[in-house]
């Protein structure tokens, strides 16, 4: 297959607002050992992209400085040692950065075949979100059938994915949102909606669980929610933090409450996990979630689609907080 020498990539010209995302012409990358080169058809937009753009994401040495953590497309080249994929395969993949581009190199172990019946846009909205939810809600959070879960930000890409998987796996879910439209979507996804603007989620959880609390909380708020999250937990419950929209530092933490409930407070960053850890999550998804997606259930909700070169507009919409589900970039 003859490939072009150059491609369009969205660059972060300097830390700042959405306007710093600018298209630039760069060489097409080359797949190294254990890697595949994907001709990108669509790329998902995620909160860590915006944090990276603003200079707020903890970038370790060697991390790709370009945004884009998930893509869908066709394999156009394979590196040495790759046997699980061939040129022409339709895949979606968790990248290590650089997904906002016409071509992207990813470790083959972080790619998965696109389930039958799933289009490019839906496929691009799967990897980052489903890897994150699976590793945190069902991994660190150990959510199991018959248990209860509280999902903060229930209509985000992470939130809608978590609620669909909770319904699929028999977990009673509660979720917070900030308006009636979003609460209606949460109810459609089979969960109990809590409007955080006029309801106290700790009180609602206590009432709905007969004072028992929930087994696991998936939290995007961080510091400002920590004490209330612990208050809403059941005995031996788990708080799993994915973000810090409410602050990265918690003040006046009630350690006694954590100890009294034997609670676990934890969290993770997906991007900084090792290649081996990401490969393990991919295998678990293929075993447990891919059959569900292939059956047409738990498919990602798409909020809005933008051309690749309108990445700045996509970020502005995400940060405005009006979206429901995933925002995706279409790559022509």
pLDDT in tens, 161-206: 999 999 999 999 999 999 999 999 999 999 999 999 999 999 999 9
Q: What is the pLDDT of residue 332?
A: 87
pLDDT for residue 291: 97
Low-confidence stretches of the chain (pLDDT beneath 50)? none
Residue indicated by tokens 């959510």:
143
Contacts (Cβ under 8 Å, ≥6 apart) of 130: 161, 285, 289
- Locate the domains of the chain by residue range: 6-126+271-330, 130-267
Q: Which pLDDT value is given to residue 244? A: 84
Number of residues that this document lists for the chain: 332
The CATH superfamily of 130-267 is NAD(P)-binding Rossmann-like Domain (3.40.50.720)
Question: Which is it for strands 264-267 and 233-241: parallel, antiparallel or unpaired?
Answer: parallel
Ramachandran region of residue 318, left (φ > 0), alpha (ψ -120 to 50) or beta? Answer: alpha
pTM of the model: 0.94
Q: How many CA atoms lie within 13 A of 220 on its CB side?
A: 19
Helices (runs of H) and strands (runs of E) counted in the chain: 11, 15
> Could you give the residue ranges of the DSSP H alpha helices within the chain?
47-53, 120-124, 127-133, 157-169, 180-188, 201-208, 226-231, 255-260, 275-288, 290-294, 311-320
CB 132 within 8 A of CB 158: yes
Predicted pLDDT of residue 245: 84
Which single residue is written with the structure tokens 């409410």? 246
Find, among 160, 163, 133, the residue nearest to 149 by Cα. 163
Q: Which CATH number fits domain 6-126+271-330: 3.90.180.10, 3.40.50.720, 3.30.365.10, 1.10.3720.10?
A: 3.90.180.10
Distances (CA, A) of 243 to 29, 30, 78, 206, 209: 31, 33, 34, 24, 26
Structure confidence at residue 155 (pLDDT): 97
Rounded Cα–Cα distance for residues 219 and 58 (Å): 19
pLDDT of residue 118: 97
**CA dist., res. 112 & res. 81, Å (int):** 17
Q: Name the burial class of residue 79, with classes exposed (0-12), middle (13-18) and buried (19+) by CB atoms within 10 angstroms of its CB.
A: middle
Structure confidence at residue 247 (pLDDT): 85
Question: Distance of CA 205 to CAs 66, 173, 189, 234, Å?
Answer: 41, 10, 18, 10
Q: What is the DSSP string of 89-121?
A: -EEEEE-SS--SBSEEEEEGGGEEEPPTT--HH
pLDDT value, residue 153: 95
């Amino acid at each position: 297959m003859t490939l072009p020498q150059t491609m369009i990539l969205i660059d972060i010209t300097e830390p700042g607002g959405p306007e710093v995302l600018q298209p630039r012409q760069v060489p097409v990358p080359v797949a190294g050992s254990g890697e595949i080169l994907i001709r990108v058809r669509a790329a998902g937009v995620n909160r860590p992209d915006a944090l990276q753009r603003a200079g707020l994401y903890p970038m370790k040495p060697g991390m790709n400085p370009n945004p884009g953590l998930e893509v869908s497309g066709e394999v156009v080249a394979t590196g040495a040692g790759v046997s699980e994929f061939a040129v022409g395969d339709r895949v979606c993949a968790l990248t290590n950065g650089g997904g906002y581009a016409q071509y992207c190199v990813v470790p083959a172990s972080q790619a998965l075949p696109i389930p039958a019946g799933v289009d490019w846009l839906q496929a691009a909205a799967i990897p980052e979100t489903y890897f994150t939810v699976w590793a945190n809600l069902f991994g660190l959070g150990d959510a199991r059938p018959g248990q209860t879960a509280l999902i903060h930000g229930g209509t985000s890409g992470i939130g809608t994915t978590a609620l669909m998987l909770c319904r699929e796996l028999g977990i009673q879910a509660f979720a917070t949102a900030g308006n009636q439209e979003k609460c209606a979507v949460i109810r459609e996804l089979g969960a109990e909606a809590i409007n955080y603007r006029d309801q106290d989620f700790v009180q609602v959880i206590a009432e709905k669980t007969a004072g028992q609390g929930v087994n696991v909380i998936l939290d995007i708020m961080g510091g400002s929610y920590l004490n209330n999250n612990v208050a809403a937990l059941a005995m031996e419950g788990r708080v799993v933090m994915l973000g810090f929209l409410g602050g990265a530092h918690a003040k006046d933490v009630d350690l006694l409450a954590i100890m009294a409930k034997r609670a676990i407070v934890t969290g993770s960053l997906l991007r900084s996990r090792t290649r081996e850890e990401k490969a393990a999550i991919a295998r678990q998804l293929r075993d447990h979630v891919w059959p569900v997606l292939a059956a047409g259930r738990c498919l990602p909700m798409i909020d809005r689609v933008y051309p690749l070169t309108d990445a700045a507009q996509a970020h502005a919409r995400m940060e405005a907080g009006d979206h429901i589900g995933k925002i995706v970039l279409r790559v022509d």
